[in-house]
Amino acid sequence: MKRFSFLLALTLGLAAGCGLLKNKEESADKTKKQAEEVFKAWVEAHNNHTLSALDTLYADEVFYYSKNFKKRDLIEDKAKALKPGSDFRMEVVDPKWEFKDDEATVNYEKYAYWQGKEVHVVSELAMKKQGKLWKITREADLEVKKVGYEITKEEAWKKVEDFVASKGYEVVRELGERMTGPVEKNGVLCWKATGPYHAEYGYAGDYEIYVNVKDGDIVSYKFNPRKWPSPDE
């Protein structure tokens, strides 16, 4: 009887231990997901030029680049780039996270565009858990990779024209073609080209082509055939 009671107690103890471990792992996963959501919201707030959203994400005091800032002063500084009509936008790729106790740090590559200038940097954002919420406590650029992209929009257009020609078609210029971006496609930062193309026998269509900003490789493409009016129609 004593042996049975001992085995029962051991089994229940192991089950309880497994349950606690599972709960701890689930809690850690939830905490990480919350931090990742804050990072995502931070990027979106910049691209949407929403200062009010940024205000909810920062701690009251932030080490901002090389100085300690009060949140209100930091938001005022952000407003220079995010004011109405600003062309500021950014893309972040390859985020790498590190979690320790109630702190989280993410290193990532940032491609920023502002006032016609394009910059590629390695950046860092740090957060600390304050109550149930993650708050950003540090923001800095660690390394400047390049001012401007390796492949310009003009060079990307040449890549697009050559690629379309390799498929037996011809790019139609000045009829609604667009080169936008940079945007992320399949985990790669790209220029996105869209527009019409000619094909033989009077048929043509629209293309969507993604050009790697670093090396000019075609990352993804799609041709959508449609009837193209002939000169006599």
Q: Is residue 233 part of a domain?
A: no
Task: Mark whether 91 and 163 lie in a shared domain.
Answer: no
Q: What is the CATH number of the domain that holds 71?
A: 3.10.450.50
Q: Which of 139, 142, 145, 187 is nearest to 42 (CA)?
A: 139
Considering the domain boundaries, does residue 131 fall inside one?
yes
Q: pTM here?
A: 0.57
Region 81-106 average pLDDT: 93
**Pair 50, 136 in one domain:** yes
The answer to whether residue 11 is domain-embedded is no
What is the residue-wise DSSP string for 100-138? ETTEEEEEEEEEEEETTEEEEEEEEEEEEEETTEEEEEE
> In which band, very low, low, confident or very high, does the pLDDT at 233 lie, cut at 50, 70 and 90?
very low
Cβ pair 139, 124 in contact under 8 A: yes
Q: pLDDT band at residue 130, thresholds of 50, 70 and 90?
A: very high
Residue 137: predicted pLDDT: 98
Q: Which residue has the higher pLDDT, 75 or 180?
A: 75
Asked if residue 142 and residue 27 are part of one domain, the reply reads: yes
Are 123 and 157 within one domain?
A: no
Q: Does the pLDDT of residue 4 top 60, yes or no?
A: no
Same domain as 132, residue 160? no
Among 147, 182, 214, residue at a domain's last position: 147
Boundary of a domain, candidates 115, 147, 179: 147
> Is residue 172 located within the same domain as residue 128?
no
**Does some domain include residue 14?**
no
Instruction: Kindly report, residue by residue over 192-220, the tens digit of the pLDDT.
Output: 999 888 877 665 788 999 999 888 899 99
Residues 87-94, mean pLDDT to the nearest whole number: 92
Q: Total structural domains in the chain? A: 2
Q: Domain for residue 80, yes or no?
A: yes
Whole-angstrom distance, CA of residue 198 vs CA of residue 106: 46
Q: Which domain holds residue 83?
A: 21-147
Boundary (domain end) residue, out of 94, 119, 147? 147
pLDDT, tens digit, for every residue of 158-188?
999 999 999 888 887 766 678 887 777 887 7
Q: What pLDDT is stored for residue 153 in this prediction?
A: 82
Q: Are 212 and 151 in contact (CB under 8 A)?
A: yes
98 assigned to some structural domain: yes
Q: Are residues 169 and 210 in the same domain?
A: yes
Torsion of Cα atoms, 178 then 180 then 186 then 187, to 10°: 170
Please check whether residues 140 and 165 belong to one and the same domain.
no
Domain for residue 7, yes or no?
no
